[in-house]
């Protein structure tokens, strides 16, 4: 590629299973730069198959950051990710003009490239009380409470992510207002420019791809991976129900199978169903951001040509 503007980040986003990893590697190799993951689950060392972490060959093709870099016992959120990501980008930009940011966690991408809204401090007693009730009553209780107390967030937010549900609930109980009312979307200054690209497939094609991916994950040993995590948790006296990272599609359902709540066939079917629902929520999030330019995942040339025009 020709000479480009300095400190330019290229975001490659889109729903799960659409082909973001392959496109990010193609772009990073063309720009001779590095990749920063914006996936809130691929950062965990203990999770590999179920989060579709890039394989050894893919990781060897281009330097990656925020992949298998942290433990599931560390609690991550968008604010921490933004701080971490900006440090990584500073290091990348010290050596390269561009950086590639890839992932399907929309809030992480927003936090890194635009900053987060300032939400009022919540009452610590409320936070502690909610956490205790969640640990006793589980995810169903938490979802029901958010649906009752903050229906606006429940209809537009990530309802399978306990960390975000807890946050929404503590804010509405502390302030009497939906967390959405504090989200003004004011862009904070950044030391880099951002170009946003998203990948899209026809819905039915994506559904087929999701189902095949889930079946492949099971063949690759996803159940064995979950059992291995369970052994580690037992050794540490921890429950999967209280660890945010494990409320992830593909893990939660198999933990429920191990506890006898689902048959294996039911668990696999639920993984497919929940993955399709997650992909739909991802599409809704990214489609709201008009800065994204959309491409078919097979249109590598189109993506590279578009990037060249924008950053030259």
User: Residues annotated in the binding site for ATP, as ranges?
Assistant: 14-21
Distance CA 61, CA 55 (A): 10
Task: Please enumerate, by residue number, every residue annotated as part of a binding site.
Answer: 14-21
Residue 141: which residues within 8 A CB-CB, separation 6 or more?
133, 134
Cβ neighbours of 278 (radius 10 Å) = 21
Sign of CA dihedral 274, 275, 276, 281: positive
Taking CA atoms, 37 is separated from 25, 44, 136, in Å, by: 11, 12, 34
Residue 65 parent element (H or E): strand 64-65
Distance CA 3, CA 199 (A): 25
Structure tokens at 90: 């500073």
Distance CA 250, CA 186 (A): 35
Sign of CA dihedral 285, 286, 287, 288: positive
Q: End-to-end CA distance of the chain, in Å? A: 9
Distance CA 175, CA 192 (A): 35
Task: Please enumerate, by residue number, every residue annotated as part of a binding site for substrate.
Answer: 16-21
Distance CA 26, CA 175 (A): 46
Distance CA 133, CA 128 (A): 9
């Amino acid at each position: 590629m020709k000479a480009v503007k300095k400190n330019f980040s290229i975001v490659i986003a889109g729903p799960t299973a659409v082909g973001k990893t392959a496109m990010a590697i193609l772009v990073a190799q063309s720009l001779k730069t590095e990749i920063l993951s914006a996936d809130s689950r691929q950062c965990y060392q203990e999770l590999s198959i179920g989060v579709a972490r890039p394989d050894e060959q893919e990781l060897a093709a281009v330097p990656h950051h925020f992949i298998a870099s942290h433990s599931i016992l560390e609690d991550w959120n968008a604010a921490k990710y933004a701080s971490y990501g900006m440090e990584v980008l500073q290091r990348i930009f010290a050596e390269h003009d561009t950086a590639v940011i890839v992932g399907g966690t929309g809030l992480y991408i927003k936090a890194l490239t635009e900053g987060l809204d300032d939400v009022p401090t919540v009452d610590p007693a409320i936070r502690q009380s909610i956490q205790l009730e969640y640990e006793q009553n589980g995810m169903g209780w938490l979802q029901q409470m958010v649906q009752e107390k903050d229906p606006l967030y429940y209809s537009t937010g990530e309802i399978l992510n306990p960390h975000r549900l807890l946050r929404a609930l503590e804010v509405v109980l502390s302030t009497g207002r939906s967390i959405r009312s504090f989200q003004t979307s004011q862009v904070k200054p950044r030391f880099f420019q951002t170009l946003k690209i998203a990948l899209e497939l026809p819905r039915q094609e994506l559904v087929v791809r999701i189902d095949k991916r889930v079946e492949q994950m099971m063949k690759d040993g996803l159940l064995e991976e979950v059992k291995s995590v369970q052994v580690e948790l037992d050794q540490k006296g921890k429950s999967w129900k209280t660890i945010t990272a494990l409320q992830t599609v593909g893990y939660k359902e198999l933990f429920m199978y191990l506890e006898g709540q689902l048959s294996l066939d039911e668990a696999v079917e639920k993984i497919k169903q929940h993955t399709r629902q997650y992909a739909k929520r991802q599409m809704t999030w990214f489609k709201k951001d008009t800065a994204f330019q959309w491409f078919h995942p097979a249109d590598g040339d189109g993506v590279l040509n578009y990037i060249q025009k924008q950053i030259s």
